[in-house]
Structure 1
Amino acid sequence: MPELLAAGGWGLLAGSALLGGALLGYLARIPAWLVAAVMAFGSGVLLSAVSFELIAEAHERGGLVATAAGALAGAVAYTLANVVLARRGARHRKRSGDQQPSEAEQSGSGTAIALGALLDGVPESMVIGTSLLGGGSVSAVTVAAVFISNVPEGLSSASGMRRAGRSARYVFALWAGIALISGAAAMLGYGLLGGVPGPALAAITALAGGAILAMIADTMIPEAFEGAHLWNGIITVTGFLTAFALSHL
């Protein structure tokens, strides 16, 4: 039970960065180039965490076949769900400009955006819970990577929601809810997968990694490139190296 609660606490901590970023994005007028730069940095951090904390760990536990199968399954599942939500108005849910549709322009887009935010956040939180399996401590790098990447995600998305005319009540209720669900997802990751054999756990870990990689490519990199342009690469690499350095402290 203490470990289960700890998993929920770490997941909630990482998820709370979404709400913090949303507060900044909705209440402050942050320049588009700065939003893009922070998003690029967060993308690099998350790419590093997926590479060295998830995919590498899955490979060590279950080998190449289980890892590759899990990662591809995660990417396919995320992409299919994202396609459905994109057609209902959630395509630009992490964009900070005028790309997001208002409810008047596309009815039901608010619900689609909320479901999209949930789709983006759950895999990240579940891997925080699974990192506690085996009696070890939580992966500080994974928590830090998810926390850091969640700030620009919430910031950019809330900024776009404000431009689309969505109310503060909608925005903050959405991100507060996602933060709470992040804690619950981390608890599920720990509670449901505790007795799973090594190869199966490796595939599940890789599945989450594949879903996160697809999310980065589909929702974070486009926003980062839109504003950072030629600086996007070096900022992303800086974020990648930051997380890599943290993993070796």
Structure 2
Amino acid sequence: IIALVFKINLRTIGLIMAFGAGVLISALAFDLVEEAVDKSSGHGWAVGGLFAGCLVFFGGNLWIDRLGGGDRKDPDGDQESGSPLAIVLGTVLDGIPESMVIGLTIFEGGAVGAAYLVAVFISNLPESISSTSGLLSAGWKKSRILWMWIAIAVISGLASLAGYGLFQDSSPDTVAFVLTFAAGAILTMLAQTMMPEAYEHSPKYVGVVTTLGFAVAFTIHTLD
């Protein structure tokens, strides 16, 4: 909604994305992977989940790129040449892993902690601002963009519900696998889509702002 109302320049979007990337990296390290290692009976489950999540996202992202959704986070408007369906599918792919962990967190009674929830909220802001700005530049109508985000919110909610319902009787090792699966998928998403866009539009300060985002999320984690 922010990007629908206000026009944000590319440099600012790049910095916002860098901050969000730093936040998510911290959340993955301290709220997902660390929690998974503590839960599992051996590191194999955690490591296996990490690489499984990476490979699944990599494959899904490759397929969506071929459909025309590779520039879904680009704030320049390169989405104009892409497929609307692929852009929506790609955005859903980006959000499902973190949404499932939220559902799993509710079931576990807050095992992952508030820090992860805050990190997801903070990181989703730059992602949505960048995508919305790009879609506007590509000529999408505001109403169309708004309905897209509503649909994605509903799907993400269903993913959270699935995370809550599917793993109620799961062993600690399975929960650990799911946590690191999400971590691997999100980390791959950051490296392939979010961080390159951040660097492209704000190369001078991207490292500093990413570190700032990491520090903010780590501080939230230590206070949780």
TM-score by length of 1: 0.86
Which residue does 1:25 correspond to in 2? 3
Which residue does 1:89 correspond to in 2? 68
Task: Give 1:230 shift.
Answer: 2.2
Which residue does 2:33 correspond to in 1? 55
Are 1:39 and 2:13 an aligned pair? no
Secondary structure of 2:203's partner?
helix
Aligned partners of 1:132 and 1:139 also within 8 Å: no
Tell me, in whole angstroms, the C-alpha distance in 1 between the residues paired with 2:110 and 2:205.
39
TM-score by length of 2: 0.95
Question: Which has the larger displacement, 73-82 or 226-235?
Answer: 226-235
For 1:64-79, list aligned pairs within 5 A.
64-79=43-58
Paired residue type of 2:16 = V
Task: Give 1:29 shift.
Answer: 1.2
Which residue does 2:133 correspond to in 1? 159
Which residue does 1:174 correspond to in 2? 148
Measured against aligned partners, the alpha-carbon deviations of 1:150-181 in whole angstroms (never above 9, x if no partner) come to 11111000111111111222211111111122
Paired residue type of 2:91 = A
Are 1:238 and 2:207 an aligned pair? no
Tell me, in whole angstroms, the C-alpha distance in 2 between the residues paired with 1:42 and 1:131.
21
Aligned-residue Cα RMSD (Å) equals 1.3
Are 1:224 and 2:202 an aligned pair? no
For 1:190-209, list aligned pairs within 5 A.
190-209=164-183
Tell me, in whole angstroms, the C-alpha distance in 1 between the residues paired with 2:170 and 2:182.
15
For 1:95-134, list aligned pairs within 5 A.
95-100=74-79, 102=80, 105-106=81-82, 109-134=83-108
Query: In percent, how many aligned pairs have the same letter?
Result: 40
Tell me, in whole angstroms, the C-alpha distance in 1 between the residues paired with 2:179 and 2:87.
25
Task: Give 1:238 shift.
Answer: 0.4
Paired residue type of 2:201 = G
Paired residue type of 1:42 = G
Question: Which has the larger displacement, 74-83 or 169-178?
Answer: 169-178
Question: Which has the larger displacement, 49-58 or 180-189?
Answer: 180-189
Gaps of 5+ in 2: none
Tell me, in whole angstroms, the C-alpha distance in 1 between the residues paired with 2:65 and 2:152.
19
Task: Give 1:97 shift.
Answer: 0.7
Aligned partners of 2:18 and 2:195 also within 8 Å: yes
